[in-house]
Structure 1
Amino acid sequence: MTDGNGGKRHSLGRAGFFALGCLMVALGFIGAFLPLMPTTIFLILAAWCFGKSSPRLEAWLLDHPRFGPSLRAWRAEGAIPRRAKYMAAGGITFGYVVFWIAARPGLVLALVVGVIMGAIALWIWTRPEPAGR
């Protein structure tokens, strides 16, 4: 099936997913070193993008010795390892403290941000843990 453009739309789509996947990997690796920036969510998104554009890079991520097990557990079961849950909760708490000190928000804003961050933490903690861990 062609798109009337000789396959150009398909190629552009693959290139877009590839570029987005590369960006997500870069953000994920930055997040591995910065305490306020997440890692796993960016790598989950990168694996998804590479699944649409580059099976070789998708396989590289899924087979990565450090990040691969978490990515495979997410894909198979929607699972998050307990250690990652603790790290996420710690990062969320640290981020809220930095927000509180740096922004000096009013009560309403502090509550809104706190409820949103609390809801995210709750969602993370309600995810299953990988089988066999």
Structure 2
Amino acid sequence: MKVIYLFLGLISLLLATLGVILPLLPTVPFLLLSAFFFARSSERLHRWLMEHRVFGPLILDWQQHGAISPRAKKAATVSIAAVFTISLVLQVPAPLLLIQAAALSLVTLFIWSRPNG
């Protein structure tokens, strides 16, 4: 089972790292998944992730306070707006746009309702 958790942790970390570069891919959820999987598979990787200069504070804020930094909130909001804009440009059918707008609005509301990290 540890091997599976390690593999999932590495995949999650890869996706989180890509999320730093790609605006449409979320970073923090994948970091949280990585921390979860590494805690169950590799003490060394878990410690490295938690002590990482960039990633560590994001994870600790969430784990200790359920908090998201204002910078992360802004980045998430921009990504959400970009996703919806792309859907508009691609002329996604109206019923799907309504579903997407509702889901993205709820996600945005959740993000901004969290305390600041």
TM-score (structure 1 length as normaliser): 0.85
The Cα offsets for residues 67-103 of structure 1, whole Å up to 9 and x where unpaired, read as 111111111111100111011001000111011112x
The counterpart of 2:2, out of the listed 14, 17, 24, is 14
When the two structures are aligned, how many residues end up with a matched partner? Answer: 117
Match of 1:84 in 2: 72
State the one-letter code of the partner of 2:29.
Answer: I
For structure 1, the 5+ residue unaligned runs are: 1-12
The Cα offsets for residues 10-69 of structure 1, whole Å up to 9 and x where unpaired, read as xxx111100000000111111111111111110110001000111110111110001111
Percent of pairs with identical residues: 34
The counterpart of 1:123, out of the listed 93, 96, 110, is 110
Post-superposition offset of 1:106? 2.4
Post-superposition offset of 1:105? 2.0
Match of 1:111 in 2: 98
Give the ranges of 4+ consecutive aligned residues of structure 1 lying more than 2 Å apart after TM superposition.
none
The counterpart of 2:83, out of the listed 77, 92, 95, is 95
